[in-house]
Structure 1
Amino acid sequence: MSRATPDQERRNFERQDFLVSCGWQNAQVSPLVDDASARKYFRLERRHDTALLMDFPPSAIHVDPHGIYDDPERPASVAPVLHTTPLFERAGWRVPHIQASDEKRGLVLIEDFGDITFTRALQAGAMMDGTGKDGLYLRAVEQLIILHRFCDGGGMQDSGLVQYGPDNFRKMLASFKNDYLPLIIDDEARRADAIAAFDRLLDDVLPMCWQAGEVIIHRDYHVDNLMLVENGDGGDDCGIIDFQDAAIATRPYDLASLMRDVRHDIGPDLENRMKQFYLAAFPNVDHSDFETSYVATSMVRNFRILGRFGWLAVKAGKTRYFDYIPRCWDLILRGAGDHLPALADWVQTHIPEPARKAPDLATNLATTPTRKAHP
C-alpha cells in the first residue's frame, strides 16, 4: 500500500476536522467512484443515518465551465454549489440539501440521495408507478418544465448566474479545435483550413441557438445526474444532482443534453415524443425556432464533448471515452440536413466518415506539435 503524501495527509486532516465540526467524526467513510472531475465524494454512515461529503480542494485545477476566460484553468471552489442549491430549491427541484459547509477549505456536507440513478433504473429495467423507460424520461422532462415555468415567471431575475451568449459557446469550442482536431487531421494545412471554415460556421450558427429564448440551465442534465429518491409517502421523487455549473442559456440546452446523451441511445422516436411533450407545456414557443435552436445547441454540446475527450486523452491519459466518438458525430449530424445544412456541409467536407471514429492516439500524437491544451 502506498504511503500518503504530505498533501494527502493534510487534506485527510482537514476532512476529519470538518467532520468533527459537523458531528460526523465517528462515521464510517467510504469513497465513491471518481469521474472526470477533480471533485470527490465520500459516503458517511452512522447507525441508520447517511450523508455525503463533497471534497473540492481549492488547490485543485478546475476548468471554467462557462467560456468566460481565455485561459480556462481556474482555482477550484464550492461557492457555485452553495449558490445554486437554494436557487433550485426555490424553483421546485428536489436537490440535495446542504447540511454544513466550509467554503474556504472546499468541503460541503450534503444530503445522501442513495445510489439509484435513472441510469441504473434503466439498466435494471426498473418499473416506477407502472411505467418504464418512457416514464423515466417523461419525469425528467417534467422537471425541465417546472424549471422553465419558474424562469418564465421571473425566476431568472437576480439569480446571480452567468448569462451565456455566442462568445461563451465559442470559447467552449476552442478545445474542439485545439485538443480534438489534431487527433484526426494530422496535416497542418488541412487542419487550418478546417478550423477557418469552422469559425465561419460558428459565426452563422451560434446566434441560432437563442432563437427559442433562454432559461436557467443545469448544464449537465442527463440520466446519470437524475435519481430516484424516496419521498416518505411510499413513492419516489426525481432527485437532481451535479447542478453547480448552472447558467442562463438557450432554452433547449438541457433537453438536448438529456435526449442526445452520447452514453445512452434512446432513438429519435422517443426523442421526438419528449420534445412534443415539452413544447405542449409552452404554447407560445415557436416549434420551428425551437427545432433550429435544439439542433444548433446539440451541435455545441457535442463538439464541446469531443474537445473534452481529446483533452482527457492527451492530458490525463484517459482514452475510454473514445468509444463514444462515433455517436457524437451521429448526434451532431442528426437533423442538421434539414435545419443546419451548413453544419452538415462542414462535416462532410472536412471530417469524412472514416475520421468519425476513435482516433489512433499514438500515431496522431507522434505527428502533432506539442501544444498547451485546455478542456
Structure 2
Amino acid sequence: MTEALASLPAREARRAAFLARAGHAAASLVALPADASTRRYFRLDGAGLLLMDSPPHSEPIGPFVRVARQLRQLGLSAPALFEVDEEAGLALIEDFGHDTYTRLLAAGHPEGELYRLAIDALVTLHRAAPDAGQGVYDALQLSDEYALFIDWYAPLLIGQEAALALRESYLALFAEVCADVAQRRETLVLRDFHVDNLMLLQGREGVAACGLLDFQDALVGAAAYDVMSLLEDARRDVSEARRVALLLHYLKQRPELDAPRFLEDYRRLAAQRHAKVLGIFVRLAGRDGKHGYLAHLPRTLGLFVQALEAQALGPLRDWLDRHMPAWREPLPPATLQALRQTPYRLVQGSSHDLHP
C-alpha cells in the first residue's frame, strides 16, 4: 500500500490514505462535475458516500463542518459527516443522490412544490437564533462583493483605467445603498441558496426533504438575502408571479417580521448580489477559463437592471447612466468572444489583474 501511494500525485495520495483510514481503501471513485470553486467531490460507488476534497490552502473544510452541524441541529438536511480530516481538507459525507432541483425542474417536476419546500426550509432556519460565534455579513464583506462589478465587469464597458478612476465613487454610492442592511444580524445566511445547491430527498418529511449543499461560506446577516438568492437566480428564470407568491408564502409564516423593511432589504441585497455575480462570471471566464458562466450574464444583467429600478437605488442608477451609458445593454459578441479566448488582463491590454 505504501509503495502504491508513493507513486501517486500528492493530492491523490492524500485522498487514498484518507479513504484507507476510513475503511474504504478499495472504493471506486467517480468524480462529480466541478463548479466555480476549487473543491472537488467523488462518489464512492455503491457506498452512499461522497468524498469531499477541499484544499486547505484555498478552501478550508472547517467552515463546512461547523455549518453542517448547525443545520442538522435545526432539523434541516445538511449532509451527515462520517469522517473528517480538517488538516488534510478531506471528509466523507452523506451522498444525497442525483435529485438536484436543477435536474428535477429540467425533467418537469412541479416548480411550485420545490420552491415552496425551499422557502419552508428558510423559514425554519430564520426562526432560529444564529450562532454567536459565526462571522458576520457586514459592510466590509458586502463591499468586497459589489466591488467585483467595478473591478471585472465595468472595464469591459469603459476600459480598465476609466473603471479604476471611478472605483472610489462607485464604492461610496453602493456603501450608502447597503448601510442599513449591513447592520442586520438576524439569521445564518447560506449565501448561495439556489436550485443548483438544493436537492429533493425521498423518504424525508417536511423541511428535511430539502437537501442543502454548498453552505460553507455562511455568515450572520439579513434574512432577506437567501430568499432573494432563491427567487432571483442567475442560472434560472423565475416568473414575477412565482416570485411574488413565494415572498407572500414566506412572509405569512413570519408575522413577527417588519414586512416593508424585509422587502427593502430584499431590493438592496438584490442589487448587491447581481453586481457581485456579474463580476464573478466575468472573472471565472476571463481569469479561470470557465466560460460556461458567460451564458448566464444576460439574465444576471436583467436582474441587476430590475433591482436598480427601485426608488432607493436611484442615485446608483443615475451614476451608472452618467458614467457607463451602455450598462443596461448585453456585452457585445466580440467582447464575449475575447473572454472565451483570452485572459482578462489581455482583453484589457494590461499587464496585471485588478484582483488576485
Please state which band the TM-score falls in when normalised by the shorter chain.
0.7 to 0.9
Letter in 2 for 1:114: G
Please tell me the residue identity of whatever aligns with 2:330.
Answer: K
Contact 2:51-2:90 at 8 Å conserved across structures: yes
Find 2:315's aligned residue among 338, 342, 351: 342
Amino acid at match of 1:22: A
Match of 1:149 in 2: 127
Spell out the pairing of 1:1-375 with structure 2 (5 A cutoff): 9-46=9-46, 49-59=47-57, 62=58, 76-126=59-109, 132-150=110-128, 155-158=129-132, 160-186=133-159, 188-189=161-162, 191-192=163-164, 194-210=166-182, 214-231=186-203, 237-339=209-311, 340-353=313-326, 356-358=329-331, 360=335, 362=338, 365-374=346-355
For 2:29 and 2:192, the matched residues in 1 are separated by: 27
Question: Which letter does structure 1 place at the counterpart of 2:134?
Answer: L
Q: CA RMSD in A?
A: 2.5
- Normalised to the residue count of structure 2, the TM-score between the two structures is 0.88
Letter in 1 for 2:130: M
**1:193 positional shift:** 5.6
Structure 2 SS opposite 1:248: strand
Could you state the TM-score of these two structures normalised by the residue count of structure 1?
0.84
Contact kept, 8 Å, 1:96 with 1:110, in 2: the verdict is yes
Structure 2 gaps, min length 5: 1-5
SS, match of residue 17 in structure 1? helix
Query: How much does 1:355 deviate?
Result: 6.0
Give the residue type in structure 1 aligned to 2:126. H
The Cα offsets for residues 1-49 of structure 1, whole Å up to 9 and x where unpaired, read as xxxxx99612222111111111111222111111111100000024xx3
CA distance in 2, matches of 1:232, 1:148: 21
Inter-partner Cα distance in structure 2 for 1:44 and 1:212: 41
Spell out, residue by residue over 1:228-285, the C-alpha distance to the aligned partner (whole angstroms, 9 max, x if none).
112268x981111111111101221101110001111011111111111111122232
- Structure 1 segments (4+ residues) deviating >6 Å: none
Equivalent residues of 2:137, 2:219 under 8 A apart: yes
The 3 A distance-change label for structure 1 pair 309 and 77 is same
The SS at the match of 1:18 is helix
Aligned equivalent of 2:3:
none
Compare 339-348 and 213-222 and name the one that shifted more.
Answer: 339-348
Report the residue type matching 1:279 in the other structure: L
Contact 2:75 2:208 in 1 (8 A): no
The answer on whether the counterparts of 1:225 and 1:242 sit within 8 Å (CA) in structure 2 is yes
Q: Give the Å deviation of 1:329.
A: 2.0
Bigger mean CA deviation after superposition, 109-118 or 88-97: 88-97
Name the % identity.
Answer: 33
Residues 124-151 of structure 1: CA deviation (Å, up to 9, x unaligned): 012xxxxx1111110110000000011x
Deviations 1:27-73 (A, max 9, x none): 22111111111100000024xx32100011224xx3xxxxxxxxxxx
CA gap of 1:108–1:366, structure 2 versus 1, over 3 A, is closer
* C-alpha distance in 1 between matches for 2:350 and 2:91: 41
Structure 1 residues 212 and 135: CA distance shift in structure 2, 3 A: farther
Q: Secondary structure at the match of 2:155?
A: helix
State the alpha-carbon separation in 2 of the partners of residues 351 and 80 from structure 1.
Answer: 38
